[in-house]
Chain A
């Protein structure tokens, strides 16, 4: 499983700080969440579409990684089409479903909005390396180092979990308890894995503490993480997308704050 395989590539986006990617995607997300209208979402999506050329992903990889979003966006739109806030002429009605002029407009806005919010969040995440993310969160975002590194240590146990899972499977087979009821077996085996991993975690904690983890004192870092010019540029691009989307929508009078 690919949780801990280093993510690397030659494009500039791979060298950017993960914290900058989180911030940029958050800025776009927050700006677009406030309103539901097709103008702000459409403008953001159009600019993003151009910026994705520098996302560090080949077209094939881009569509594979974002496939779920391309499927989910029309489905969310479909939900809103049937159950959106009704207004205007009614076109179709069945049980609780009600397709109206208003819900058609909201559905179109929903499809664009889901794409515009989710695509950058997914694309920017693909090129984040887990170790870089931990370094950035602890050093740049100043989250407590003990927690970030503890989480990273947990992440490194994933490959062990998978080995444990196979051993458990074999052991249960050998004992003749693994052959009936697939769901039952799955639940029982998951519980056994959880017990095993908590035991391993307790031991790991002792080992880490013995090596001075969590001791008071100043921590130094083997891998330094800092924000550079490229990171500032990325955040500026996030602000640009957000500002363009919001101002276009406000100027054309489509700005429609959610829930209002």
Chain B
């Protein structure tokens, strides 16, 4: 990537250029330091949530779940929140993958059971959401796009799980698992993250982001 002259860089952080969604794509796509750091902080925080969720959820229900015909993935949308949430906050290309992988890394470092495969899963899930935001050229952050991104993230998760862990499953099981994962992703990760970003914007915590400004303008 071509280094950006410092003067140009300075203008990016002025308030007018942040609030404007009309700035050229190349400038909008450039990650500022605050984008990177806040995306990281969100990734780490959600990674802690993932780990806490692992502890509460997995040991108690795993034996029960093993007997379900693929319906277990209906709650797995929790593990998809980071990617969609991160992208909705910073609105930069690659944000969904970056934040989801980071959250998975934190989960793994804390001792999630799949070790390095936690990171791989995070990448595939983030990729699903990322592709949806890419299709909308990183310019549309409305609720239906968030829901689509959550659903695509769920699809990524289903493909990953069915390949890695349930490769021998019958078609009925595989379809039930995939459909539940997509629905869960759409509702929990898609709609949930969108509502969360709106609530965050209302507190003023996102004042340095376009997401915080457009939400504030809408109120």
Contact of B41 among A98, A123, A190, A197 (CB under 8 A): A197
Within 8 A of B (CB), among A193-227: 193-195, 197-202, 204-206, 208-209, 213-216
Tell me if B31 counts as interface (CB < 8 A to partner A): yes
Q: Say how far B66's CB is from chain A's closest CB, in angstroms.
A: 4
- A205-B38 in contact (CB<8A): yes
- Give the docked Cα–Cα distance between A86 and B6 (Å): 64
The A/B interface has a contact count, at CB < 8 Å, of 199
Q: Given A121-B114, A206-B34, are A154 and B41 also a contact pair (CB < 8 Å)? A: yes
- Give the docked Cα–Cα distance between A184 and B123 (Å): 31
Q: Given A82-B67, A146-B36, are A109 and B108 also a contact pair (CB < 8 Å)? A: no
- B167-A121 in contact (CB<8A): no
Tell me if A50 counts as interface (CB < 8 A to partner B): no
- Give the docked Cα–Cα distance between A141 and B49 (Å): 28
Residues of B within 8 A of A79 (CB): 66-67, 166, 169, 173
Segment of B20-28, B141-149, B180-188, B200-208 in the binding face: B200-208
Contact of A76 among B45, B89, B98, B165 (CB under 8 A): B165
Tell me if B137 counts as interface (CB < 8 A to partner A): no
Q: Which residue of B lies closest to A162 (CB)?
A: B48
Q: Say how far A103's CB is from chain B's closest CB, in angstroms.
A: 7
Tell me if A170 counts as interface (CB < 8 A to partner B): no
- A198-B163 in contact (CB<8A): no
Within 8 A of B (CB), among A14-51: 21-22, 25-26, 29, 33, 36
- B36-A202 in contact (CB<8A): no
Segment of A110-118, A173-181, A229-237 in the binding face: A110-118
Q: Given A72-B113, A147-B98, are A202 and B208 also a contact pair (CB < 8 Å)? A: yes
- B41-A201 in contact (CB<8A): yes
Residues of B within 8 A of A103 (CB): 168, 170
- B113-A69 in contact (CB<8A): yes
- Give the docked Cα–Cα distance between A260 and B33 (Å): 47
- Give the docked Cα–Cα distance between A159 and B34 (Å): 21
Q: Which residue of A lies closest to B72 (CB)?
A: A79
- A83-B33 in contact (CB<8A): no
Please give 13 more A-B residue pairs, beta carbons under 8 A apart, in addition to A1-B110, A124-B116, A157-B44.
Answer: A29-B120, A69-B114, A79-B169, A85-B168, A95-B69, A96-B172, A122-B115, A123-B115, A154-B37, A198-B42, A200-B41, A214-B33, A216-B6
The 7 closest A-B pairs by CB, nearest first: A154-B40, A68-B113, A106-B168, A122-B115, A201-B41, A216-B3, A150-B36
A-B contact pairs, 18 of them (CB 8 A): A3-B109, A75-B62, A76-B66, A79-B166, A79-B169, A96-B69, A109-B168, A147-B31, A147-B98, A150-B37, A153-B37, A158-B44, A158-B106, A191-B199, A195-B205, A198-B206, A201-B38, A202-B34
